[in-house]
């Protein structure tokens, strides 16, 4: 249970709404990204209705706000769903109010877009131009199918060189899974971890706090954050203050640095497609299917809960548009 502050008269002070939202999110061990997303949507909801308190509003106001996202802001269905999840959390978990079924909600139309997939030649050009840690991280994304945040959140203990596999912890939907460790990356990863080990030993000698661990793990293993196995595979160069605990420690590398490096490098090597870190994951899945691996194997490696999500990559098995030979090519 969250402890509320007490004023000088000994009276318990109820926190402000957003502070209470953050406290409930942390009590449920949601990620920091979820915390940021939920609090931003709740702020926008309150501002949309002239700063009225959510407890004085209900289903009608929720429907009006969410519908405006679809009709006025033209947001995607997934973005509207994020906002809906944030408001349902606010009412159910923070205010203790069960909203009725939102029957008058105008839903954003799902946009069926094919993923941006790089050819093998384009991947080769991109990876060849990158260097240093960014090159290693990009190779991991393409060679394992990991998402960007799964890569930056890797811990040393999650890499099994003997079994040639990587355990992806707490992936999308809070699920763990196992993916392949490319043999070509075994030696570069070992060399990288030697340098990380030196940084780790320097931090220990300086008596710095250990790496971040979820609250439940901290309580169960209070010294685990100072053990080698729990260290980040890709630690940040400098220290930063944890916004939740206010502890100054070494966090993992910031994901935006790799995002920018890939975008910049893709342009430099003449890739016209809007290549991102996620394009490497799409390319991993697509190239596996092209090489004859079955859809269920690819589904497991990607961590998709439903094979229908993975099926989007089967479009690449058709050469040209839907496998059709243009009549122009018959001349």
Reported in sequence order, the residue ranges of the chain that DSSP labels E, i.e. its strands, are: 159-160, 165-168, 177-180, 240-241, 248-249
Give CA–CA dist 156/132, Å, rounded.
19
Among residues 172, 192, 249, 315, the one annotated as catalytic is: 172
Q: Is 281 a catalytic residue?
A: yes
Burial 24-46 (b: 16+ CB within 10 A, else e): bbeeeebeeebbebbbebbeebb
Strands 248-249 and 159-160, sheet pairing:
unpaired
Among residues 147, 177, 282, 287, the one annotated as catalytic is: 147
Q: Is 278 a catalytic residue?
A: yes
Reported in sequence order, the residue ranges of 220-308 that DSSP labels E, i.e. its strands, are: 240-241, 248-249
Q: Is 252 a catalytic residue?
A: no
Among residues 45, 91, 142, 313, the one annotated as catalytic is: 313
User: C-alpha 2: how far from its chain's center?
Assistant: 27
Q: Is 172 a catalytic residue?
A: yes
Among residues 169, 251, 254, 278, the one annotated as catalytic is: 278
3-state secondary structure of 223: coil
Among residues 139, 281, 282, 287, the one annotated as catalytic is: 281
Q: Is 28 a catalytic residue?
A: no
- Known catalytic residues are 147, 172, 278, 281, 304, 313
């Amino acid at each position: 249970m969250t402890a509320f502050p007490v004023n000088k008269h000994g009276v318990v002070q109820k926190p402000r709404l957003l502070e209470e939202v953050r406290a409930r999110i942390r009590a449920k061990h949601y990620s920091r990204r979820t915390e940021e997303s939920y609090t931003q949507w709740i702020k926008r909801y309150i501002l949309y209705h002239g700063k009225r308190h959510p407890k004085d509003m209900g289903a009608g106001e929720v429907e009006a706000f969410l519908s405006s996202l679809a009709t006025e802001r033209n947001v995607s269905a997934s973005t509207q769903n994020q906002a809906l999840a944030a408001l349902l959390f606010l009412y159910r978990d923070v205010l203790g109010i069960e909203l009725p079924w939102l029957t008058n909600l105008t839903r954003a139309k799902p946009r069926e877009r094919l993923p941006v997939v790089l050819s093998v030649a384009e991947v080769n050009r991109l990876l060849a131009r990158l260097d240093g840690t960014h090159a290693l991280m990009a190779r991991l994304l393409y060679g394992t199918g990991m998402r960007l945040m799964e890569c930056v959140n890797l811990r040393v203990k999650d890499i099994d060189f003997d079994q040639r596999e990587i355990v992806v912890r707490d992936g999308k939907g809070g699920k763990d899974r196992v993916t392949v460790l490319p043999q070509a990356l075994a030696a570069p990863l070992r060399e990288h971890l030697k340098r990380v080990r030196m940084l780790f030993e320097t931090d220990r000698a300086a008596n710095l706090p250990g790496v971040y661990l979820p609250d439940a793990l901290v309580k169960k293993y209070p010294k685990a954050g100072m053990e080698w196995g729990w260290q980040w595979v890709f630690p940040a160069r400098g220290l930063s203050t944890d916004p939740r605990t206010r502890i100054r420690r070494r966090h993992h590398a910031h994901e935006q640095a790799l995002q920018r490096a890939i975008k910049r490098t893709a342009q430099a090597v003449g890739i016209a497609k809007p290549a991102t870190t996620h394009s490497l994951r799409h390319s991993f899945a697509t190239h596996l299917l092209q090489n004859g691996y079955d859809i269920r194997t690819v589904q497991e490696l990607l961590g998709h809960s439903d094979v229908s999500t993975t099926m989007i990559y089967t479009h690449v098995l058709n050469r040209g548009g839907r496998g059709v030979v243009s009549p122009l090519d018959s001349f």
